[in-house]
Amino acid sequence: MLPLWEMLLYLLLSFGFHFYSFYEVYKVSREYEEELEREFELEKDTLFWGLKKDSTDFEWSFWMEWGKERIIWLQLGHLMVSQMSRLFMEKYKPWCLMAYGMVACWFLLGINGLAVILLHVAISFSVAQFQTAVLTWLCSLLLLSTLRVPAVEEAKRGWYDTENEYYLLLFTLTVRCLYYTSFSLEYCWHGSTQKRNHSFFWMLAYMFYYPVFHNGPIMTFNEFTKQMKRQEACSLKSNLCILLLGIVRIFFWWWLAELMIHLMYIHAIYSSSSHLEAVSYWTLGGLALAQVLFFYVKYLVLFGIPALIIQMDGLKPPALPRCVSTMHSFTGMWRSFDVGLHHFLIRYIYIPMGGSHGSVFGMLFSTAITFSFVSYWHGGHNYLWFWAALNWLGVIAENGVKRLLSVSLVQDLIDRFFSPRSCRRFHAALAAVSTSMLILSNLVFLGGNQVGKIYWNRIFVEGWPWATLSVLGFLYCYSHVGIEWDHTHRVD
């Protein structure tokens, strides 16, 4: 729709803004290296020319430690059991994988961890027999709330020698909550007519499917069973090509994530308010971009490994996250980043609560309930409620603008007075404003309320008008690239 030279200009400026702001972050990381090392104990590493590593991102350090020690080997064990089952016991493959998942759970989490997961599963299955969705949701929320009861937390900590083992159980139970909720709701809706497909053994096969056991991605029960019963037949040569290509891609993403935290001490600087308030606007912008891009690359690795194994099992995994630099709306972010979680929220919360097909109030209410659950499921901390509120307001504002622009009178005026190219530029301008708030909400999610407050004050209060307008100008270029990405992939 836009001239080629104009799109190339936006693309060039977008890359230029990324790389120059990253260079500023790199310089600040070197400048503050000694201070950050004293405060956060940067790791000495020989991986990248002797550069020190910022290991303050708990999630990355946690999963990399567990992955290298045990989980990656258990995932390979699952792959071997799956391929052997496919060759010799195709009919019993779901039950072989279920048994392997239970053994792997016992090996990592101990008999107490396995017992508490089975207890949650049994309670959820028992409540599902009433075939009442409200009871199922109350049960799931109650079981989720037990993870935050101090006495229960202390009892679980006593089962393990290290804090990391307790956190592995906590994260596993949090993800398993979505899985037994999915099964139980499907049982409420279809259990009376499809009892064979919603048996307790199928629930166990779903709950203990190991590739997604600890950290996802999320697959709903109906997707899992349909695909498990109708697996795609692939030749050995095809499977080998998929495996080798997948390993190369995952290794590249891991290398890129490690390179980022060796060159830029993103998380250490975010943990120091004094440094964050002192850096230049270019560095501030680079830190924001680096933070959200690292989060994206991190989940390419964390979701990419199970997705590859799911694919080797003959199933179709949820799509991997889309690059955040091409995101230009709250709606698009939720739809395209964690695809499995989005599908869960839409199927089990948003649509049953009324969705977008009811009244405006119904849409506001169903969206609010959806984001409230997401916030509570992630931990229910104060900054998560603020993050959820920002996302709710962003989604509501975007839907409101879409509804306004879809009114026939407004549409006629647009068609009469504005060319398609003008509409496209106006779309990018609106998207730039939306993207600025989207990035702010993500910074709150990743860094907490204090980080969000610093960015708001420096960019939108103290930096008005030049810093604010400059940021919106940069995001205008990014938005054009993202809109073109959407258009190209929609056409393809």
Q: Is the preceding omega at residue 317 within 30 degrees of 0, hence cis?
A: no
C-alpha closest to that of 246 among 59, 79, 88, 61: 79
378 is catalytic: yes
3-class secondary-structure state, position 53 = strand
DSSP of 57-108: -HHHHHHHHHIIIIIHHHHHHHHHHHHHHHHH-GGGHHHHHHHHHHHHHHHH
Q: What is the rounded distance in angstroms from the CA atom of residue 441 to the CA atom of residue 387?
A: 5
**What is the distance, to the nearest Å, from the Cα of residue 260 to the centroid of all Cα atoms in its chain?**
19
Checking 61-66 for CB contacts under 8 A at 24+ apart, the result is 62/164, 62/167, 63/215, 63/302, 65/164, 66/164, 66/168, 66/214
Q: Is the preceding omega at residue 306 within 30 degrees of 0, hence cis?
A: no
CB atoms within 10 A of CB 402: 11
DSSP 3-state percent helix, strand, coil across the chain (nearest 5): 80, 0, 20
Q: What is the rounded distance in angstroms from the CA atom of residue 23 to the CA atom of residue 44?
A: 21
Catalytic residue (one of 378, 381, 487, 489): 378
- Catalytic residue numbers read 378
